[in-house]
Amino acid sequence: MRNIKQLLGARIREIRKKNKLTQEKLAELVGIGTPNISYIETGRFAPSMDTLEKISEALGVYPYELYMFEHLKSKEDMQKEIIDAIETNEQTLELIYKFYQSIK
């Protein structure tokens, strides 16, 4: 399971690439060194709140959007979450089964 620094970094990388920015350009816009962007994107370093705010401005997103990384979960994490939901809630099992039947 990836930790929050890794997920945040992956999300920043995703948005940066979507905006067609290089790490160098993002670093320039934020006012930090290129290696720091690399460290943030790999989850090695967590950005300060000030840096996070500058990153969100440079990427043209609200700061909370940098934490929208539900879709970045690993297959194993998604599978575990679904299994846990099925095991604890009968209605969830029925709903997932109906969905499965509709797409198979």
Contact yes or no for 37/47 (Cβ under 8 A): no
For residue range 26-53, what is the model confidence (pLDDT) as tens digits? 999 999 999 999 999 999 999 999 999 9
Domain count of the fold of the chain: 2
Check whether residue 24 and residue 65 sit in a common domain: yes
- Same domain, yes or no: 33 and 14: yes
Cβ neighbours of residue 85 closer than 8 Å, sequence gap 6 or more: 92, 96
Same domain? For 67 and 19 the reply is yes
CB 46 within 8 A of CB 8: yes
**Res 62 pLDDT > 90:** yes
Residues 55 and 96 placed together within one structural domain of the fold: no
Say yes or no: 15 and 50 in one domain: yes
Contact between 1 and 78 under an 8 Å Cβ cutoff? The reply is no
Do 9 and 42 fall into the same domain?
yes
Can you give the pLDDT at residue 1?
58
| Residue owning tokens 């996070």 | 52
Provide the residue type at 5 as one letter: K
CATH code, domain with 56: 1.10.260.40
User: pTM score, two decimals?
Assistant: 0.69
Considering the domain architecture, whether residues 28 and 48 belong to the same structural domain is answered as yes
State which residues form the domain around 80: 74-104
Residues 25 and 64 in one domain: yes
| Same structural domain, 47 and 58 | yes
Amino acid found at 60: G
